[in-house]
Amino acid sequence: MVIEQEKMRSLASRLGQEEVRGRSPWTDARKRFVRNRAAMTGFVILVLVALFAIFGNGLAVWSNEDLDFEVMGQVATLGQPSLANGHYFGTDDLGRDLFARTVQATQVSLTVGVVGAAIAVIVGTLYGATAGYVGGRTDQLMMRIVDILMSIPYMFVLILLLVMFGRSITMLFLGIGLISWLDMSRIVRGQTLSLKNREFIEAARAIGVPSWRIILRHIVPNLLGVVAVYATLLVPLMILTESFISFLGLGVQEPLTSWGALISEGAGTMNYGTLWQLAFPLFFFCITLFGFFFVGDGLRDALDPRDR
């Protein structure tokens, strides 16, 4: 009897806590997200890929720069994936370990994707929120600039930049960052327009909070949902852009490598029967894009349950 009462008391207190904590829209969204099987699969894939990028080097027997002279020159016959000599994914046509190279490519591509998306989020959010909040002629001008920039064939301009100012990873970040925020700023502006006439903004204005502070403290936090969804969908686009550039040989330069560069290499050498050089980078590339798309879709559904 005593035990029963103990149990009941703990249950009651837990329920009480539950009641006090309440359910915020974010908790709801998290529940919906966790229940969405495709989104969770995507999330697990992304976690695994990230772990691969972080800890992959610890598993690798070879470093990404060492040439294996045993297989060099006979890559088609000796360089295939094998556990015996430590080349889990085989070697590339110079005899470098493809496992270590893939780890490195994953690090580079993920970094480019995340940093590119981060630039887009920061610049695009601030720009869009400012344009939307200030409104009037400033808004007109700022959005017209975005219109103009959008009608420029950005991939060509990016290549132009890379050729003229040297093919460095900084330039790549800069170039991708320059173009990626445009869509974001439009979305954010639209959202800001609907936020700015709400009471809490009015209240903030009434007590004399300066505009920049209203934008940073009251508008931006309320944009978080849209921004989060869009950022998740932006990362794969950035990865695609970088891979595209690297496929053309204009992206990251040796000894650095990325998925696009590895896919390009693999595509170039597949005539010689070294299919693993294409297959492994392609596999990681595809599952990561899948993961981001699924998580992005899942986030959207979770944050916007009306649309289901």
Partner 1 sequence: MFAYVLRRMAVAIPTLLLLIVLSFVLMHLAPGGPFTQERELPAQVLANLNAKYGLDQPLWRQIWNYLYGIVAHFDFGPSFVYPDRTVNQLIAEGFPVTLTYGALSFLFAVVVGVALGVVAAIRQNSFLDYLAVGISIGAQVLPNFVMAPILVLVFTLWCGLLPGGGWSFSDPRFWVMPVIALGTSYMASIARITRSSMLEVLGSNHIRTARAKGMPEHRVVIRHALKPALLPVISYLGPVFVSMITGSVVIDIYFSTGGIGKAFVDSALNRDYAVMMGVTILIGALTILFNLVVDILYAWIDPRIRY
**CB of residue 269 vs partner 1: minimum separation in angstroms?**
10
Question: In the block, which residue shows the tokens 């998306």?
Answer: 117
Given candidates 134, 171, 253, 290, which one binds partner 1 under the rule CB under 8 A? 290
The answer to whether 253 contacts partner 1 (rule: CB under 8 A) is no
Chain-centroid distance, C-alpha 289? 9
DSSP 307: G
The answer to whether 250 contacts partner 1 (rule: CB under 8 A) is yes
Alpha carbons 102 and 249: distance in angstroms, whole number: 17
**97-131 per-residue burial string, b: 16 or more CB within 10 A, e: under 16:** bbbbbbbbbbbbbbbbbbbbbbbbbebbbbbbbbb
Question: In the block, which residue shows the tokens 């936090």?
Answer: 221
Alpha carbons 113 and 118: distance in angstroms, whole number: 8
The answer to whether 157 contacts partner 1 (rule: CB under 8 A) is yes
The answer to whether 159 contacts partner 1 (rule: CB under 8 A) is yes
Q: Quick one: 60 or 162, whose CB is closer to partner 1? A: 162
**Interacting span for partner 1 (CB under 8 A) from 27-35, 85-93, 108-116, 245-253:** 245-253
Given candidates 143, 244, 253, 256, which one binds partner 1 under the rule CB under 8 A? 244
Sign, CA dihedral 266-270-274-278, equals: positive
> Which among 187, 182, 91 is positioned nearest to 132, based on CA atoms?
187
Q: Quick one: 4 or 307, whose CB is closer to partner 1? A: 307
Alpha carbons 215 and 308: distance in angstroms, whole number: 31
The answer to whether 59 contacts partner 1 (rule: CB under 8 A) is no
Alpha carbons 205 and 156: distance in angstroms, whole number: 44
The answer to whether 165 contacts partner 1 (rule: CB under 8 A) is yes
Sign, CA dihedral 34-39-45-51, equals: negative
**Interacting span for partner 1 (CB under 8 A) from 76-84, 130-138, 238-246, 298-306:** 238-246
The answer to whether 48 contacts partner 1 (rule: CB under 8 A) is no
Q: How many C-beta atoms lie closer than 10 Å to residue 219's C-beta?
A: 24
The answer to whether 171 contacts partner 1 (rule: CB under 8 A) is no
The answer to whether 44 contacts partner 1 (rule: CB under 8 A) is no
Given candidates 122, 171, 248, 256, which one binds partner 1 under the rule CB under 8 A? 248
By CB under 8 A, name the binding residues for partner 1: 144, 147-148, 151-153, 155-157, 159-166, 240, 243-244, 247-250, 260, 263-264, 266-267, 270-271, 275, 278, 282, 285-286, 289-290, 293
